[in-house]
Amino acid sequence: LRIIAIINQKGGCGKTTSAISLASIFAKRNFRTLLVDLDPQGHCAAGLAVPESRIDLDIGDAMMLPADRTMDVSRLLWRVARNLDLAPSRMKLAGLEAPKGGLMDADDKEYRLAAAIERINEVSGNPYDVCLIDCPPSIGLLTYNALAAAKEVIVPVETSYFSLQGASRQLATIRSLSRRMGSRVRTRLLPTLHDPSSTLARDLLEELKRLFPGCVIPQVIRYDVALKEATSFGQPIDDYAPDSPGALDYGALGEWLTQHASIDRQLEPDEFDSVTMGQLQTAIDDMIDSRRPTAIDLSTPAEVEPETLGAEPAPGAPPSRADEIYLRAQNMTRRA
């Protein structure tokens, strides 16, 4: 399980957008994906159309569950798409890291999230390949927990003047915190909300690469209003507008990360969404074609026996390609 935390104490730099978009893209590429929302604002649930009023347990409850109690993941996790589960957050998570909120005085207060993710992974029966953690815009106990759990950190940085200053402070903080906790994380900067038509933004991007050599992810996320719209429709960008610049950039970022962040997948890579859907359509067309009554020569007695059309195949007969794909599609929708 590869755990990636998305951290920046600055709000509005694209943490949640990156978490949701990447989670959806990994899931579509057949990585079993867990999205953990660690921000009390609960934006991941909103961005994936999970109603806050129906959240039964949140990630804070999972973190505080005593070790001798069994975790009921059915009350915690939301299956938001095939291969994609959300462990949601809500406002009361803010209380958890406050003095007397529970976490401060807990044993292993910085390792509660790591333990919770491990337990979720065990109990869910079907281990995850990748876990993304969307962090709050602050450096407190919740973010320490994310740092302690993660092997990789992505710091989204808007390519604007003030964000650049914040970036070096952010990087220094993350490095000293993880050193103090004895964890070894790989920290990378992700340029976001980038406007390639602006000379200033382009210069700032170059400056970012110069200041942090080897730390800047080569795939930049452009400013794209479709990303804003997708959030308000409760859909990941690759569902809402698959051809938009935002979907293309996050798609390429997902690809880059699978190659550079050691994420392994247990399932076969499968392009169900595009390829199999296409095959399904072709198979249905073929099926209709094969059942279409052919021109009958009226000069000889009819040989077509209508009642055999659409009959069950003989027991033991191999399923046709169309049936196979149909069954698979049915399974997909049932699971999702």
Point out which residues bind Mg ion (CB under 5 A).
Answer: 15-16, 43
For residue 194, the 8-state DSSP code is B
CB of 319 to ligand ADP, least distance (A): 45
The H-or-E segment that residue 134 falls in is strand 130-134
Residue in the shown chain whose Cβ atom is closest to Mg ion: 16
Kindly tell me which of 38 and 65 has the beta carbon lying closer to ligand ADP: 38
Q: Which does 284 bind (CB under 5 to 8 A by kind): Mg ion, ligand ADP, none?
A: none
- Non-local (6+) Cβ contacts of 272 within 8 A are 30, 82, 332
CB of 277 to Mg ion, least distance (A): 32
Q: Which does 12 bind (CB under 5 to 8 A by kind): Mg ion, ligand ADP, none?
A: ligand ADP
Q: Which does 231 bind (CB under 5 to 8 A by kind): Mg ion, ligand ADP, none?
A: ligand ADP
Dihedral sign, CA of 12, 13, 16, 20? positive
- Non-local (6+) Cβ contacts of 222 within 8 A are 194, 195, 196, 245, 246, 249
Kindly tell me which of 15 and 32 has the beta carbon lying closer to ligand ADP: 15
Kindly tell me which of 37 and 238 has the beta carbon lying closer to Mg ion: 37
Q: Which does 224 bind (CB under 5 to 8 A by kind): Mg ion, ligand ADP, none?
A: ligand ADP
Q: Which does 250 bind (CB under 5 to 8 A by kind): ligand ADP, Mg ion, none?
A: none
DSSP 68-119: TSPP-HHHH-EEEETTEEEE---TTHHHHTSTTSSSTTSTTTTSHHHHHHHH
3-state secondary structure of 36: strand
CB of 313 to ligand ADP, least distance (A): 51
Q: Which does 98 bind (CB under 5 to 8 A by kind): ligand ADP, Mg ion, none?
A: none
Kindly tell me which of 156 and 254 has the beta carbon lying closer to Mg ion: 156
CB of 245 to ligand ADP, least distance (A): 8
3-state secondary structure of 2: strand
Q: Which does 163 bind (CB under 5 to 8 A by kind): ligand ADP, Mg ion, none?
A: none
3-state secondary structure of 35: strand
CB of 42 to ligand ADP, least distance (A): 11
Cα(74)–Cα(66) distance, integer angstroms:
17
DSSP 268-323: PP--IIIIIHHHHHHHHHHHHHHHSPPP--TTS-----GGGTTPPPPTTPPPPHHH
Kindly tell me which of 8 and 178 has the beta carbon lying closer to Mg ion: 8
Residue 177: CB atoms within 10 A of its CB come to: 18
CB of 160 to Mg ion, least distance (A): 17
Kindly tell me which of 16 and 159 has the beta carbon lying closer to Mg ion: 16
Kindly tell me which of 12 and 101 has the beta carbon lying closer to ligand ADP: 12
Write out the residues near ligand ADP by the rule CB under 6 A.
Answer: 11-17, 43, 137, 192-193, 221, 223-225, 227-228, 231, 246
Q: Which does 228 bind (CB under 5 to 8 A by kind): Mg ion, ligand ADP, none?
A: ligand ADP
Kindly tell me which of 15 and 29 has the beta carbon lying closer to Mg ion: 15
- Non-local (6+) Cβ contacts of 38 within 8 A are 59, 89, 93, 113, 133, 134, 135, 136, 142, 143, 145, 146
Q: What would the two tokens of residue 93 be?
A: 């998570």
CB of 2 to ligand ADP, least distance (A): 21
CB of 310 to ligand ADP, least distance (A): 49
- What is the phi-psi region of residue 94: left when phi exceeds 0, alpha when psi lies from -120 to 50, beta otherwise? alpha
